[in-house]
Structures are given as C-alpha cells and as structure tokens.
Structure 1
Amino acid sequence: MEFQMRNQAFEVFHEVCLQGEHTDVTIKVQERDFKAHKIILCGCSPFFRMLFSTQWSRTEDSFSFQEISSDIMSLIIDFAYARPISITEDNVFELLVMADQFLISGLVETCCRFLEENLSPINCLSTLVFSKKFYSCSKIQHIAKLYVLQHFDEIIKVSQEFLEVPLDVLVEMFGQDELNVKEEETVFEAIIHWIEHLPEQRKNHIAELISKVRLCRISPEYFINKVKIHTFISENQECSNIIVHAMMTLLDNHDGPAVIDYDLINQLSRPRLPSVILLAIGGWSIGSPTNAIEAYDTRVNCWVNVTQEEEPPRAYHGAATLNGCVYCV
C-alpha cells in the first residue's frame, strides 16, 4: 500500500510539473527551460539541496546550466520524478558525468548497472577508461578491469577502442599476472599495433611497455626473428637491457652481463595466471593414497604439478571452493 501511494504521489508530481502547476524553480539549459519543484530535486540530489538553500545564497527561482544538453537534463528531471528513463550506449557516458556532478547517487548506480549489463569485447575498454575518472564508478571500474583481463584475446581481435587506450592503462593491464592470453606473443603484437597507430608520439614508450611482456614465455624462434630485431626495439637504447636478460633466460646462457637483475628476469619469465583451472587433488597412486595435486590450465592445454609436500595423503574426499580457497573434506 505504501509503495502504491508513493507511485501515485509521483504520478501527480510529474503531471503538475508538465503543466507548470505549483512549480517554484526553472532550470535553463541551452535554449530550453525546465520547470520543476525544488523539493523534488532536493530529494534526489544533495547538490540541488545545497543550491536551493537560503543559507548560502539569496532565494532564486531560475538557474542556468549551459554545459549540459537539454536531452540529458530531461532524463535527470524524469529520474527525479521517478519516471522511467531510456539509457542507451549513446547517452550513458554523458548522463553518468552529469549524475556524478549533481551527486545523484541513484542515477549513477543506474548508469553503472547499464554499463555492467552491456559489457562486451567491443566496448569494455572505453568503459574501463571512462570509469577510472570517477570515484563513484569504482565498482564498474573493477568489473570492467576483470572483464578486460579475462577476455583480452577476444578484445584485441574486435575492439577498435584498443588503439585509443591511454598509456597508463596499457602499462597496468599488461603488467597483470591475471591477463588471460594463450600466447605471450599476443601481448607483444598488441603493443606494436598500438604504437604503429601513432608511431611518432608512441614509439618512445616501447621500453616501458615491452618490460611488461613475459618475453621469456615466448618461443626462442619468435623472440629472435620478431622481437629482438623489431625496429621500435632495436632503435631504443632502454630496451637493450631487457632484451639481454630475456635472451639469457631463453637460451639458458649464464655468460650474460656482469650484473644480473633477477627481479627483471622474474618479471620477464613469470607465467600469467589462468582465469580457470581444473584441480586433481589426491586419490590413489600405486595402491595407496597420495598427496599429489595437479592443475590443468585450459588456456594452454597443460597440466602442472602443484603438490605441497606438507599436505597429507588423502582419498575418498570431497572438495569445495569458498572465497578463493579450496577445502577438502
């Protein structure tokens, strides 16, 4: 009953607003005037409550916002009056910017939910880059980041947005252990593709980017024939130390430089973490229980022994996961 009465009340508020009855404020946007009720706008936005407060300014009944389009202001006012609004891929970013500026938390959440529900390999990068600009979008930023990391192989094939991604976003993304790529060559080729889009402005960033590639996970043939001799790398002095350390590890050559940077070698050789694995835990081996634990990485079609020697042998058990941990009972 209470919910029904609330809906009926807002129906009346919206009707009298459209008819200009009992309105006490005019919002001027470009060449259009919106008549509204201050109390309704205050109810959805601390910004409007402060704007209309007589404690900070003289009482006014007209306010101008020329930086916002009339279509977006119409959506904001409809939202304030609890009317259904149409959010699309064409208007969601502009609407979210103004909702954040006007401190309309409910509309910010609605826009972020739309972005989450419509994430795809084509638009996820623009969503990630956009959301990093706003503190109020931290949740969708986290979701978009995970989506990009898990679907990078597909994104790089279909996304035109990749070529416009800022350097800092690429550096962070390529440095993540969770970046889900079947082959590290994909990361190298993506970097080259990004630089070639604007070579004069971007080629000086090659060392910072190439240091995030797990070069020691690349085949020696590809490294020698594609990476080492690439013009962007061979012409950049900062890349030489990275290339030497990668070659030492790839070729198992211990006659490398006098000073070996083991942190760099670890960075260049550390494998990426798979997004999904299959665990085979314990069971029977040669007639007795075993403590063996093996992990299957579906991405690279490979089994890895991850046995912890301190684990006791076990068989006839069950297993479950919770909050990133595996429990055997």
Structure 2
Amino acid sequence: MSFRCSRSPRSHGVNLEETLRYEESNFGSRFAGAMQEMRREGKLCDVIIKVGERRFSAHRLVLAACIPYFRSMFTLGMAEDDQQEIQIDEGSIDAIAMETYISFAYNGKLLITLSNVQSLVTGACFLQLTAIKDECCRFMQNNIHVNNCFDILKFADLFLCEGLHAETKKFIRKHFADFVQSSFHLNISFEDLHMLISDDGLNVPSEEVVYEAVIKWVEHDRDKRSHLVSQLMACIRFPLMRPPFLSDVVSCNDLIKSSHDCRDLVDEAKDFYLIPDRRAAIDPVKLRGRCCRELVGHVYVIGGLTSAGDSVNFVEHFDCLNEKWMPGVPTKLPRSRLGVAVHNNSLYAIGGYDGCRRLDSVERYSPLVEGGGVPISGGCWEMCPSLNTKRSVLSAVVVKDTIIVCGGYNGIASLNTIELYSPLEDDCWRVGTPMLKARSATGCCVLDDRYLFAIGGHDGLSIFKSVEMFDAESQDWVMVAPMMSKRCRHGAAVLNGRIYVCGGYDGSKFLSSCEVYDQYPNAWSPIAPMQCARSRVSVVANGGRLYALGGFDGTSNLSSVEVYNPESNTWEFTTSMICHEGGIGAAVLNK
C-alpha cells in the first residue's frame, strides 16, 4: 500500500509539500561518539595497529577516512589490506604518537605540548598529516628560545619544515649574542658553527663577539678542536675589530699564536689600520659589517621647515625594506632644527625652533608595534622634563643609557654647554662638562657606547673642521683629527664602527662631499659624494646603509633621499619623503 497525494494549489486553500529535508544538528558528534564507544568496547574493530609492544584496536574505515597513510594502505591493494594485525616500525612513529593520532581519527582533537611536539611532527610526516605538521611547526616557532633554537633548527632541517627552519635561522641571527653568551653553542658541530659565523646577517654589537664565540667553542674541547681554529678564524672579520682588542687580546691568545694562518689574518687586520694603501687588496667580505635584516628598523623623520620657512609638527616613517613612507603621529609642537635621540626604542624630540622662538621643551614617543615587532602608526607624544637652556640646531645622542644634548644656538650665541638626562633615573636635565668650543649646527656621533664626537659646526663667526671627543668615563673633552673640509649643517652617523659625515655648508658653497673617520688611526678619508648638495641634511644608519634625508641645496629645500652602500662606495636615490624637506630631525626605531 502506498500513500498518494495529488498536489492542487487550490485544494482547500492549503499548500501541500511533496518533500521534507531533515538534518540532525549533532549527527557528526553523535556519530564520532558512537565510534569511540565501540572502539573502547572492542566492538566491530577489524584491525590492530602494533607499535613496539603496544597494540591499538581500531576500525579500518575510520583510519582510512582520517589518516592518508592508512587510506593508501587499505584502498590500494597493499599487503596489509588483508592483515588483522599490522606492525609499524618504531623508527617511523613512536607508540605514544600513534595512540594520539588514532584517537585523533575518532574525535578530531589532539593536545600539542613542548614535550610531545617533536614526536607529533615525526608521526605527522609518516602518516602524511600535513595540516597537523604545519600546526606543530607554528607551535614550535612560537616557543623558540636561545636554549632550544639550534635543536629546533636541526629538527626543522631534518623534517623539511621550511617555514620553521627559516624563522629559526632568523631568530638565531637576531639573538646570536645571547645564544653564544648562554654557551649553548659549545656542543654544536664544527660544520654548524662554521655555517653560523659565515652568516652576514648576525646581529652582534661588534665582530669581537663572533671571535669570542669561536674561542670559547675551541677551548670547550681543545684537544679535539684546536686543529680547526684556522678554518673558523678565516670567517672572522678581523679588520672590523678595534686595534686595542687586536693587539691586547687576539694577538696574545695561544691558539692564535700557534697557528701561522691565524697570525697572517691578524697581521692583515693590523695592516688595514697601519698601511691604508693595502686596504684595496683585502677581501671585501672582511670589511663588510654584519647586518641583521630582521632588525632593519624604520627611519622616523620629525618636524622641519616648509619652503616658506615655517616650522611643522609632521612625522613620517620609512620602511627601508619596502621603500615606502607612511604618516606618523604629529608632535605636540612644531619644531625645526631640533635634536632627535632614541632611548629604549622611544623617540625624543628635543629643543629646536617653532618659527618664533627657540625651544627648551622635550617630547617622547613610543610607537605601537604589530606582531612582528614592526612599528606602526599609533601611540602618542608626551611632554618630558625641559632642557635647562633653550636651543636650536643642537645635536642629541645616547651614551650609556643617558641622552646627551650638545651645543646649539640660544637666539644670542652658539653654545658649548651640554646637558644629560637618564630617563630611567632622572626627573630633570643635568649640566655636563662643556665642550672646548661653542658649536651650533654640529654633528655628533658615539663610538663604543663611550666616546662622543662633536664634529665641525660653527660659533657664529667661523665654520670649523675641528673635532673634539668626550670620554664618558673620564668626563673629559680632547681634540682629535680634524675633518678634511670645514662644514656646518651637515649630517653625521656611525656605520660599522666608523663615523660618516655628509654634506653641509663651508661658508661659500653647499656641499655634496662626504668623508669617513676611523678612530684608529685617528684619520679622515674621502668617500663618494652624494648626488645632490645637501645642507641641513639628516643622516642615519640602518640595515648596513646610510640614509641622507632632505636638506637644502642652495636654491630649495629637498624632499629627496639618498642611500649609501659602503661596499660599492655609491649613492642611489630611494623614495622621496612625502611631507618633509629641510631642517628635519631623524632617527631609527628598530624592530
């Protein structure tokens, strides 16, 4: 007997339905629960998976549906298709991981922990569970530390985890100094250490850190490793070390003295300083400073002048890797001819000129950062303790966690005074030992977090080529080698332990010329000129390059930016600033 219904839209005014779709909302969870229950009770199980001495009952259909390895085994006519008990090699997957994955096939859940993640990756590779392998790699990436980074690197290499391998290498480059300081590198192989110290991208404050890492590694097992010292030292860039360190530490080391090849490397570095004519014969790699691309920061440009001469409060920052300018948060006050310093990854805009008067006010800005540590728009400027003296065309640097402001102009005369401020300790600015000369529109740089150099500038009557150096430990100023050319309103920055001075004004012409200072042997030498003459230019170092920003060419303010490559000794233009020209302040905030 069958039920019949003839559909008639007019039948008693009622619409009749010919079909009805029913769905059980919790069907998936009910089905999974039932399968788990049957497995626990051993009902309808048709296969046993054995790993070592452990045996796991299961349903072929469930394993094949959820795990690609078993799908191939049970559907492609393999020998195991008819076997009641299947033996799995413990070298491919351990018993605990297999139990975890069989449970996962029934409930779709697994717990990843620091103690099981590596065995889960091993098992995921064997069972062809790509999504779980990727999730485990993300978990490991989020838990990289100096005490496990090299183990993770080797593990990622073994199991072809390309993304994890790349991120771990970035971590090691970025934290190399901490890695070797913690001594976790002492047990790695010669090949692995050689690979590390050959990397251009190590983040180290000086080449001396790399040298010390090699010495510690060799000394850890001297009898078995001393014959490898010359091969490792060939990766060290000795000409980048300070001469006192070369003479007092490296040359006196027994491992170095006992190796003819090592002594030659040290002698070559000494010749670099003592006989400049021989520098051209040195392998350029040995003269190239290491640059960690993971720490290439954003160049921040603050304040400045319009073409009409008005001071502005604009801020923009430059992504050097993507060559893109982005707007920033404006300062509270318009400022030109200001000093800019970075302390604890916060920007300080200090003094300057607002279009009417010289300023003693100071502002601080800490940017918001995104997940990768990249500065983004956000945050705000806040007022800090004011200077003791109003000043524009000043210089600001940081020495030993203390911001130091040098010279400038107070509206009446150029200044020789300096002021100091330690943000973590002070609630006001302190007066320091004055410079030997009054200097405004000077350039200031710091070497070895100890020696402050005040370079050129003017006193209102004369433009200087003279340079004086402040020792932060003795608190004394002394004169050092003068520049090759007198200049004021120039830019100055430190790159690879050398001071670069660019552009400026010599009293008769606007300059494109540049020169570089080596503390040892206390001498200046010329480098390639910029493509534009630039007075009132700001220069910063970032990512192994110099950036010359804006300025005045004698006719107009400039928004253009040039980049200097010390390896090729060349300048190239990059993306011009959006809203800045001359009289700016600039600094770099690192990731």
The answer to whether residue 303 in structure 2 is matched with residue 279 in structure 1 is no
- Does the 8 Å contact 1:247/1:253 carry over to 2? no
Output the TM-score relative to the length of structure 1.
0.79
Deviates more, 1:272-281 or 1:147-156: 272-281
* Alignment counterpart, residue 172 of structure 2, candidates 144, 148, 151: 148
Structure with bigger strand share is 2
Q: Which residue of 2 aligns with 1:86?
A: 111
CA 250–72 in structure 1, closer or farther in 2 if over 3 Å, else same: farther
For residues 540 and 26 of structure 2, what CA distance do their matches in structure 1 show? 55
Between the aligned partners of 1:65 and 1:28, the Cα distance in structure 2 is 6
Separation in 2, partners of 1:2, 1:210: 71
Question: 8-17 or 168-177: which moved more?
Answer: 8-17
Alignment deviations for residues 248-299 of structure 1 (CA, whole Å, 9 cap, x no partner): 224345469xxx754x3x222211114133425696587999595633459x
CA shift for structure 1 position 312: 9.1
The one-letter code matched in structure 2 to 1:59 is D
Q: Is the 8 A contact 1:47 1:102 kept in 2?
A: yes
1:119 aligns with 2:364: no
* 1:201-249 CA distance string (max 9 Å, x none): 3223222322222222211111122223322233234434433332222
Work out which of the residue numbers 229, 245, 269 in structure 1 matches 2:252.
229
Give matches, 1:194-233, under 5 Å. Answer: 194-233=217-256
Deviates further, 170-179 or 278-287: 278-287
Contact 1:290 1:315 in 2 (8 A): no
Pairwise CA distance, 1:174: 1.7
Which of 121, 132, 155 is equivalent to 1:130?
A: 155
Q: 1:20 touches 1:35 (CA, 8 Å); kept in 2? A: yes
Out of 205, 209, 221, the residue aligned to residue 186 of structure 1 is: 209
CA distance in 1, matches of 2:300, 2:534: 11
The answer for the alignment partner of 1:295 in structure 2 is 540
For residues 53 and 39 of structure 1, the distance between their equivalents in structure 2, rounded to whole angstroms, comes to 10
1:1-329 equivalence runs, <5 A: 5-53=27-75, 55-57=77-79, 59-67=82-90, 68-135=93-160, 137-158=161-182, 161-252=184-275, 254=277, 262=282, 264=283, 266-274=284-292, 275-279=295-299, 292=537, 294-296=539-541, 304-305=546-547, 307-308=562-563, 311=573, 317=579
TM-score (normalised: structure 2): 0.46
Give distance in 1, aligned partners of 2:64 and 2:574: 63
Partners of 1:236 and 1:18 in 2: CA distance: 69
Cα distance between partner residues in 2 of 1:253 and 1:12: 82
Structure 1, unpaired ranges of 5+: 319-329
Aligned pair count? 308
Letter in 1 for 2:135: T
Distance 1:217 1:27, change over 3 A: same
Amino acid at match of 2:271: M
1:165 CA displacement = 2.2
Contact 1:116 1:143 in 2 (8 A): yes
CA distance in 2, matches of 1:110, 1:74: 19
> 1:253/1:72 Cα in 2 relative to 1: closer, same or farther (>3 Å)?
same
User: Residue 139 of structure 1: CA displacement?
Assistant: 0.7
Farther off after superposition, 94-103 or 218-227: 94-103
Distance 1:153 1:52, change over 3 A: same
**Aligned CA distance change for structure 1 residues 27 and 314 (closer, same or farther; 3 Å):** closer
- Contact kept in structure 1, 2:94 and 2:123, CA below 8 Å: no
By how many angstroms is 1:138 displaced? 0.8
Alpha-carbon distance in 2 for matches of 1:147, 1:312: 29
Q: Which amino acid aligns with 1:279?
A: V
Check whether the contact 1:211–1:268 (CA below 8 A) recurs between aligned residues: no
Distance in 2, matches of 1:164 and 1:229, equals 25
Letter aligned with residue 164 of structure 1:
N
Cα separation, 1, equivalents of 2:107 and 2:301: 54
- Please tell me the root mean square deviation across aligned C-alpha atoms, in Å: 3.5
Q: Deviations over 1:48-95 (max 9, x none)?
A: 233334523262121123524432221222233344323222222222
**Structure 2 segments unaligned to the other structure (5+ residues):** 1-22, 306-336, 338-488, 490-504, 511-532, 549-561, 564-570, 581-591
Between the aligned partners of 2:250 and 2:181, the Cα distance in structure 1 is: 20
Query: What whole-Å deviation, never above 9, does each CA across 1:188-211 have from its counterpart, x for those lacking one?
Result: 111111222222332232223222
Does the CA contact (< 8 Å) of 1:24 and 1:61 recur in 2? Answer: yes
One-letter identity of the residue aligned with 2:180: I
Tell me, in whole angstroms, the C-alpha distance in 1 between the residues paired with 2:254 and 2:24: 70
Letter paired with 2:53: E
Structure 1, 70-79 or 306-315: larger mean CA deviation: 306-315
1:321 maps to none
Asked if structure 1 preserves the Cα contact closer than 8 Å seen for 2:246 and 2:266, the reply is: no
User: Matched residue of 2:56: which SS?
Assistant: strand
Q: Is the alpha carbon distance of 1:252 and 1:129 closer, same or farther for their aligned partners in structure 2, counting shifts above 3 Å?
A: farther
